[in-house]
Structure 1
Amino acid sequence: MGDITDAATPAADAPAPPPALTKENNLFMRIAVNPDGTVTRPEVPLVPASESAAAAVSRDVPLDASLGTYLRLYLPNPVPPPTSPATSNNNKLPVVLFFHGGGFVLFSPATVFYHAHCEAMAAAVPCVVASLEYRLAPERRLPAAYEDADAALAWLRGAVAGTDPWLAAHGDLSRCYVMGSSSGGNMAFFAGLRAAKGGADPSSSPAATAAVRGLLLHQPYLGGVERTPSEAGSEDDAMLPLEANDKLWSLALPVGADRDHEFCNPAKAMPPEALTGLPRCLVTGNRDDPLIDRQREFARWLQDSGGVEVVVRADHPGSHASELFVPERAEELFAAMREFLSADGGA
């Protein structure tokens, strides 16, 4: 499957094209909520890590075996030479901690399209990518995913990352960026807030948190009780229909919370001083995304209320998550990433 639709059955002599993406065959619409509060998720192909891939090699490293969390690391293949503009003075690459999307309910680093996306990102930026397998709602509602994000960032900043052969040889952990797409973009924002305040670990030090040089928030998944115009017009959106959007938030937020909770609507629920110390932010989005109004409002809030340095690239064509399936949209995102990192001396 190359997008979030049911795959067509191929003919014996020629593969049939995948069906057009519609509200009816959207994976989010096929999440079944069970009486016990769990969900039955639609099947989506998973792929293993590979140390023999063309664009970027990958391997999995455990994070917390008791929780089932891990990181899938991606390294450009070949690694840029020491004289490349992509490498720093110590001949190493920036490190991007990546959180996948899926409304906090679906997907994994091993999901076929997120795996391919991280391979392409590692090669195109270039950078070392660490993609997090985090706990999903509703079995583990928010803030469980945030806690896993904190653990991943602590791993990168800690002694364990220093002993990982790929990061030790090729990753510059003084140039670490936290990135997410959709719900992952939401996670990256909250991970940045925690890092700016020293993290969840009381042993964290300012020196450790200084390694987070910026946040890359791609189409961050946000909401609110009052609908924006772009949300209100998304009833039949093929990628994120309104009904699916409502369902995902009902499954992800803490029990009893409404959509003006800070996890969903930080611009309304959080005081401006909560943003103190937040690093530079890149906020990217596409014009046809039902969440685009939220993303633009969020970027203004960061800049105007919090005094955060924000770069906004929210006028690209395309739908929500179109970078996963349309190469031109992916390259626009990677170009914005390169520009952001280069301005910081990070690529």
Structure 2
Amino acid sequence: MADATPYEDSTTPSPTVLSQDITLNWKTKATVRLYRPAVIPPKKKLPLIIYLHGGDFVLYSASTVIYHNFCNDIAAAFPAIVISVEYRLAPENRLPAAYFDGLNAVLWAQNQSLGIGGQDPWLEYADFTKTYLLGSSAGANIAYHVALQLLDYDLRPVKIKGLLMNQAFFGGLTRTQSEKNLIEDAYVPLYVNDVLWSLALPTYMNRDHEYCNPISGGSYMGRVKGLPKVYIKGDYGDPLVDRSILLAQYLQSCKVPVYYRFNQGGYHGIELQNTSAAQQLYNDMTWFVNDVYQNLNSQDLSHHHASY
């Protein structure tokens, strides 16, 4: 049985969302932070969101305030049960360590659905047949690779219904036009981007490795067609935006259902600082999870230009 440590927000007398930390493995110190709405109607089942935070594979944790607040918001907005994964960071733990941690969190959720080791009472409210992987920045990269790895597993009764990628952190040896245009970006300047990838990738692997550049080839390419529906969000003021456009185009070519939003302007991590951008993202994700695709595009992406 996993051990839990409840958290209370002293600034909110009556919180709308409750959270607790769960230790999955004392030896590896693997943990997740679990969120649930404070009030759930009897016998109500909520979607299960498995969340991977941002931080360029090197920074932050599930307990970082901006990501903790983000999970509070989406647990309330959907509403949903949220599992925020505390994955290992580079350079001490280079990729694919974070992918393994994300994968193990999903397998833990499956064990919970089967009652193996005892089920956390909060997960009694989860509809495991409506499980979604959600990631921001580096977390979106992790979510993508975890989704591909999960194609090798029989997860029943868990069913991965969709993948949500917000401003995904991908790269490549050849610069995209958005990277060239925003080389001195205040949030993701190109030289910092280069250093972060040098810390995250396996030693001696370059930035066309599939962990960094998902459309460059590699072992995953033939498996992409097995992915569930995908939501992709990007901003044209983010130097990483072309990477998301290229991936969305590739997924569409593999007949994966892709829903997307690419906003004019903006910047990397805008939803963590701008309440209007955050609300738009929450609305999109809520519609995607609930199968209502208002104001989301699913047509061909060929009119979006992303070039090297």
**Shorter chain as normaliser: what TM range?**
0.7 to 0.9
1:317 is displaced (CA, Å) by 4.3
- 1:167 corresponds to which residue? 123
RMSD over equivalenced CA pairs, Å:
2.0
Aligned counterparts of 1:226 and 1:55: Cα–Cα separation in 2:
46
Q: Choose from 99, 105, 117 the match for 2:52.
A: 99
TM-score (norm 1): 0.77
Amino acid at match of 2:7: A
Aligned counterparts of 1:127 and 1:243: Cα–Cα separation in 2:
38
| Structure 1 residues 238-271: Cα deviation after superposition (integer angstroms, max 9, x where no partner) | 2111111111100000000110000000111236
Q: How does 1:30-109 map to 2 (within 5 A)?
A: 49-50=7-8, 54-79=15-40, 81=41, 91-109=44-62
Give the aligned length.
281
- 2:167 corresponds to which residue? 219
TM-score (norm 2): 0.86
Task: Please tell me whether residue 188 in structure 1 is matched to residue 115 in structure 2.
Answer: no
| Structure 1 residues 197-240: Cα deviation after superposition (integer angstroms, max 9, x where no partner) | 21xxxxxx2634x6111111111110000000111222321211
Residues 285 and 316 in structure 1, CA contact (< 8 A), matched pair in contact too = no
Aligned counterparts of 1:249 and 1:137: Cα–Cα separation in 2:
10
Name the larger-Rg structure.
1
Aligned counterparts of 2:53 and 2:177: Cα–Cα separation in 1:
26
| Structure 1 residues 137-170: Cα deviation after superposition (integer angstroms, max 9, x where no partner) | 00000000000011000011114774111011x2
Which 5+ residue runs of structure 2 have no aligned equivalent?
1-5, 294-308
Q: How does 1:1-347 map to 2 (within 5 A)?
A: 49-50=7-8, 54-79=15-40, 81=41, 91-159=44-112, 162=115, 163-168=119-124, 170-198=125-153, 205=154, 207-208=156-157, 211-270=159-218, 272-304=221-253, 306-315=254-263, 317-343=265-291
Residues 335 and 161 of structure 1: CA distance in aligned 2, closer, same or farther (over 3 Å): farther
Aligned counterparts of 1:330 and 1:212: Cα–Cα separation in 2:
24
Residues 196 and 276 in structure 1, CA contact (< 8 A), matched pair in contact too = no
Residues 107 and 155 in structure 2, CA contact (< 8 A), matched pair in contact too = no
User: Which is worse superposed, 54-63 or 142-151?
Assistant: 54-63
Aligned counterparts of 1:166 and 1:137: Cα–Cα separation in 2:
31
| Structure 1 residues 79-106: Cα deviation after superposition (integer angstroms, max 9, x where no partner) | 3x36xxxxxxx62110100000101000
Which 5+ residue runs of structure 1 have no aligned equivalent?
1-47, 83-89, 199-204
| Structure 1 residues 150-194: Cα deviation after superposition (integer angstroms, max 9, x where no partner) | 1000011114774111011x2111111011000000010111101
Residues 60 and 73 in structure 1, CA contact (< 8 A), matched pair in contact too = yes
1:287 is displaced (CA, Å) by 1.9
Aligned counterparts of 2:114 and 2:198: Cα–Cα separation in 1:
36
List structure 1 runs of 4+ shifted beyond 4 angstroms: none
Aligned counterparts of 2:95 and 2:86: Cα–Cα separation in 1:
15
